[in-house]
Amino acid sequence: MKPIIPPHQKRTQRDYNLGFKLAVISQVEKGELTYKQAQKLYGIQGRSTVLVWLRKHGQLDWSASGGNMIKQPETPEQKIKRLEKALKESQDLVYLHREMLKIVDQDCGSNYVKKSLSAQQEMRRRRGN
């Protein structure tokens, strides 16, 4: 005898609480899931249900025209984090250049690093006068 499968129960938007909707929206906006993947993963039946949630509750622009996501203005914390990362990358690059010059000086017997340092010191002395 075959097991009896209950009929598929239709759900409405009212069946999903706000916390659930916001959790799904968060995953989609972070890029962890596409809205279609979220629909499939959570068994959301409507084709546009998640998209409607994104337009209503999301932080990005999910307008139907164009479909481009436009980020909200950067918060001060985000700006600080971005600038700190850029500064770190610049410092790493300067360190790499200095180390490369040291290696070139050692291999070629030149003293470019010493020359550039003395040139910098000379420029500082001239500015001071």
pLDDT digits (tens, 9 = 90+) for 65-108: 544 555 678 889 989 999 999 999 999 999 999 888 888 888 88
Residue 22 has pLDDT above 70, yes or no: yes
Task: Give the pTM.
Answer: 0.42
- Domain coordinates of the chain in residue numbers? 13-57, 76-128
The mean pLDDT of the chain is: 79
| Residue 23 in tokens | 């959790």
For residue 48, what pLDDT is reported? 84
